[in-house]
Amino acid sequence: MKRIHLFEWEDQSWFPVVFRNLLTDNLRYVGSKWPIFDQALPIVEKGMSKSNTDQVIDLCSGGSGPWLEFLNTGFSASVKLTDKFPNLSAVGLVAEKGKGQITYIKESVDATDVPEKMQGIRTLFMSFHHFKPDMAKAILQDAVNKNTAIAIFESTQRNTFNLLLSLPMIFLMTFICTPLVKPLTISRLFWTYIIPVIPLVIAWDGWVSHLRTYSPEDLNELVDSIEHVDYIWEIGKKSVPVPGSAMTYLLGYPRNQKS
């Protein structure tokens, strides 16, 4: 199945902040409470060890993704959360719970041009599919130009099952799971159960995310098309115990990192 890059609400700069934040909170719940990224941490740790860093610069962090959960497993590095449209209330809350190990940048950080002073392995969870091939290459090229490691993880995948079934499944799951999403505000309940904007937006964006996801073959093509000398790329896909999901990953790091 070919990659199709349809419209996502979340990509629109005019998309109301209230909906964007409710949506990224939902994604944090899925990314941290569902077993979709259970196999991600050893890959991040390998990238950190290969690039001699104990810092993570998380890009496109949204509501923070799975980081708090990772910390609970004993992950000891510092994590900096960043986003082009930061969800400050969510990352603020997570930073508080992260007790100094998680910090966040209030200003907008574009994943295609990360400030050089932000040193550490770059990570992207559930967000690489937001970028068309030119931008996706720019993200990889920026990491290479600044000689940093990068680890990308997706839980969506292109296949017939998701093409046919993921839209109604995600819609239904949003109704069922919303009481478990923090913070459980009046606004969340209103925009889910009274006027179901959030389930509709999540179902649409989730379905489109499946169709946009880069397969391991696509990721290999992307890294082949960027300029890099002596970078190692590890690309693969691991099954996860959630219907329709799989963890596709890309890890890139300089072959000979100076300490």
Ligand X SMILES: C[S@@+](CC[C@H](N)C(=O)[O-])C[C@H]1O[C@@H](n2cnc3c(N)ncnc32)[C@H](O)[C@@H]1O
Q: Which stretch binds ligand X (CB under 6 A): 55-63, 97-105, 176-184, 243-251?
A: 55-63
Q: Are 90 and 67 in contact (CB under 8 A)?
A: no
Nearer residue to ligand X within complex by CB, 59 or 201 = 59
- CB count within 10 Å of CB 255 equals 10
**Site map for ligand X, 118-147, x if CB under 6 A?**
-------xxx--x-----------------
Verify binding: residue 21, ligand X, rule CB under 6 A: no
Total number of residues that touch ligand X (CB under 6 A): 21
Instruction: Give the one residue of 21, 24, 157, 192 binding ligand X; rule: CB under 6 A.
Output: 24
Supply angle C-alpha 210, 182, 61, rounded to 5.
50
Q: Is residue 252 near ligand X by the rule CB under 6 A?
A: no
Residues 6+ apart with CB under 8 A from 232: 50, 252, 253, 254, 255
Using alpha carbons only, give the angle 154, 159, 162 rounded to the nearest 5 degrees: 80
Q: Tell me which stretch binds ligand X (CB under 6 A): 78-86, 93-101, 218-226, 233-241.
A: 78-86
Nearest by Cα to 257 from 124, 109, 150, 153: 150
The stretch among 22-30, 165-173, 193-201, 238-246 that binds ligand X (CB under 6 A) is 22-30
Under 8 Å between Cβ of 223 and 235: yes
Residue 210: CB minimum distance to ligand X, A = 13
Which one of residues 28, 122, 137, 158 is an interface residue with ligand X (CB under 6 A)?
A: 28
Task: Name every residue whose Cβ is closer than 8 Å to that of residue 171 and which is 6 or more positions away in sequence.
Answer: 199, 200, 202, 203
Q: Which of 48, 60, 102, 203 binds ligand X (CB under 6 A)?
A: 60
CB of residue 85 to ligand X, shortest distance in Å = 4
Q: Write down the least CB distance from residue 258 to ligand X, Å.
A: 28
What are the φ and ψ backbone dihedral angles of 102, each rounded to 5 degrees?
-110, 125
CA gap 119, 54 in Å, rounded: 10
| Residue choice 50, 51, 65, 235 for contact with ligand X (CB under 6 A) | 65
Tell me which residue of 56, 73, 27 sits closest to 150, measured CA to CA. Answer: 56
User: In angstroms, what is the minimal distance from the CB of 182 to ligand X?
Assistant: 13
Binding site for ligand X (CB under 6 A): 10, 24, 27-28, 31, 59-63, 65, 83-85, 110-112, 125-127, 130
